Amino acid sequence: MKFRQLITAVSIAILPLAASAATFIIPAAGTGPGFNNSHWQSELTLHNTSGSTAVVTLTFHDANGAGPSTSVTLSPRATTTISDIVATRFGREAATGAIEISVPDALADRVVITSRTFNASPGGQFGQDVPSIDVNDAAAAGDTVVLQAPSSVADNRFNFGIDAVTAATVRWDLVRADGTLVTSLLQNYAAGTQFQFNNGIVSLLGSSEENDDAIQAVVQSGKVIAYGSAINNASGDPTWVSGIRAKSDIRLNWGVDLAANGTIDVTDADHDGVLDQPIDLWLSGFPTYFRVVATGPNGEPVSLSFINPPDDARFVTTDAVEWYPSPSEGPAMTLKVLATYGNVSEVLTIPVRLH
């Protein structure tokens, strides 16, 4: 070890370690007027089951990223409710965003988080619970998040949105009830941003609405939380629509040529974007080489690139991979490849066994 490295290591060793925290996201919270004379606000309730005091940090996120933060101190066994939190704690008069909740790791399973967003009308309150989601459960590259739109577009409007846990690329697909793909839109999101698309099929995707539309958020890189809300036009009563993580068939034909001899050795026969079996790579042969062979559904050429590749893995030609795997990366791992043809991109997952 070099002398400078030794000094750095010793310096780090004598510093106090920062306490780690668990992070939860309430993907939608807001305040202010809405469509059809609605008026929205969100309340947050925190309950501490522990015999210790818990200090929880709350941060508001919107399209600009992280905004103001505030902290809440929960006494042992205590409950705290913050009414109209976006206005009273984050100082916004009219805004929609996400709330990031940071809880000390030791109390992560002892602080209970609930939230409610409702329309305050002359006829009373019409509201919905909005769940808190552990960032570790966010959708990642290769996942498809399905948001089911209302069965009656005449009676309901549909808003949907996204919280980017990390920097992310998402392809939004609009699929009709009969399975027809109407449109696709690729968008990039900076880490920590939140966007809500009111009447999103029209405003974001530029299409008309039909009964039983489905929105598919196909995650191509990063981690995201996608959600929806269906609001009854007559009453202003909202219904929360959770994003359901799923796998969808990909349209590419692809596989891996292990010997780089023109023969496909491992394929994706069920078109789920994941090789049907892991490929075996031997650490004794440095570097390792293999080819990712892919064509579009009609034989179109495909461009390939890694998503968050391990160190020393690269494409040396359009489809040939050179990789110096380290034993510390094994014995099992996955490589994710972004395959693009025309205006469409798919995530390909290659399970790897290192020997």
CA separation for the pair 215, 200 (Å, rounded):
10
255 pLDDT higher than 90:
yes
**10 lies in some domain:** no
Q: Are residues 48 and 105 in the same domain?
A: yes
Q: Which of 219, 246, 273 is the last residue of a domain?
A: 246
**15 lies in some domain:** no
Contact between 158 and 201 (Cβ < 8 Å): yes
**Look-up of token digits 């949105």:** 161
Output the pTM of the full model: 0.82
156-164 vs 194-197, strand pairing mode: antiparallel
The residues, ordered by sequence, that sit 6+ positions from 77 with a Cβ below 8 Å of its Cβ are: 48, 49, 50, 51
Residue type, 181: L
Which contiguous run of DSSP H or E holds residue 9? helix 3-14
CA separation for the pair 5, 340 (Å, rounded):
42
Given this model, what pLDDT does residue 173 score?
95
CA separation for the pair 353, 346 (Å, rounded):
23
Q: Are residues 258 and 318 in the same domain?
A: yes
Given this model, what pLDDT does residue 259 score?
87
Q: For all residues of the chain together, what is the average pLDDT?
A: 89
Across 78-82, 119-123, 251-255, 330-334, the highest mean pLDDT is recorded for: 78-82
Enter the tokens of residue 165.
């846990």
Q: Which of 215, 246, 277 is the last residue of a domain?
A: 246
Which residue segment(s) compose the domain that 179 sits in? 138-246
pLDDT digit string, tens, across residues 158-189: 999 999 999 999 999 999 999 998 998 999 99
Q: Are residues 36 and 95 in the same domain?
A: yes
* Average pLDDT value for residue range 50-79: 96
250 pLDDT higher than 50:
yes
Q: Are residues 27 and 126 in the same domain?
A: yes
Q: Are residues 315 and 287 in the same domain?
A: yes
Q: Are residues 121 and 173 in the same domain?
A: no
6 pLDDT higher than 70:
no
**71 lies in some domain:** yes
CATH of residue 317's domain is 2.60.40
Share of the chain above pLDDT 70, in %: 94
**2 lies in some domain:** no
**219 lies in some domain:** yes
Q: How much helix, strand and coil, in percent to the nearest 5, is found in the chain?
A: 10, 55, 35
Given this model, what pLDDT does residue 345 score?
86
Given this model, what pLDDT does residue 16 score?
39
**192 lies in some domain:** yes
Number of independent structural domains in the chain: 3
Given this model, what pLDDT does residue 1 score?
34
Given this model, what pLDDT does residue 283 score?
77
Q: Are residues 111 and 181 in the same domain?
A: no
* Average pLDDT value for residue range 89-107: 96
CA separation for the pair 27, 131 (Å, rounded):
8
CA separation for the pair 350, 281 (Å, rounded):
12
In 3-state terms, what secondary structure has residue 22? strand
Cis peptide before 331 (omega within 30 of 0): yes
Nearest to 290, CA basis, from 266, 272, 309:
266
Contact between 208 and 199 (Cβ < 8 Å): no
* Cβ atoms within 10 Å of 236's Cβ, excluding its own: 22
Q: Are residues 320 and 241 in the same domain?
A: no
**Look-up of token digits 């892991």:** 278
More confident residue, 231 or 3: 231
The residues, ordered by sequence, that sit 6+ positions from 189 with a Cβ below 8 Å of its Cβ are: 162, 164, 167, 168, 169, 170, 195, 222, 224
* Average pLDDT value for residue range 46-59: 97
Q: Are residues 127 and 25 in the same domain?
A: yes
Q: Report residue 13's pLDDT band, with 50, 70 and 90 as the boundaries.
A: very low
pLDDT digit string, tens, across residues 318-344: 999 998 877 777 788 889 999 999 878
Q: Are residues 110 and 185 in the same domain?
A: no
CA separation for the pair 199, 270 (Å, rounded):
35
Q: Are residues 238 and 271 in the same domain?
A: no
Given this model, what pLDDT does residue 14 score?
36
CATH of residue 126's domain is 2.60.290.11
Given this model, what pLDDT does residue 69 score?
95
Q: Report residue 268's pLDDT band, with 50, 70 and 90 as the boundaries.
A: very high
pLDDT digit string, tens, across residues 17-49: 345 789 999 999 999 988 777 889 999 999 999
**13 lies in some domain:** no
pLDDT digit string, tens, across residues 308-320: 888 788 999 999 9
pLDDT digit string, tens, across residues 196-237: 999 999 999 999 999 999 999 999 999 999 999 999 998 888
More confident residue, 57 or 13: 57
Given this model, what pLDDT does residue 355 score?
83
CA separation for the pair 348, 220 (Å, rounded):
9
The residues, ordered by sequence, that sit 6+ positions from 279 with a Cβ below 8 Å of its Cβ are: 256, 258, 265, 266, 290, 350, 351, 352, 353
Given this model, what pLDDT does residue 285 score?
64
Q: Are residues 104 and 153 in the same domain?
A: no
Q: Which of 74, 109, 134 is the last residue of a domain?
A: 134
Enter the tokens of residue 28.
């939608």
Work out the end-to-end distance of the chain between its first and last CA atoms, rounded to an integer number of angstroms: 28
**6 lies in some domain:** no
CA separation for the pair 36, 38 (Å, rounded):
5
**CA gyration radius for the chain?**
24
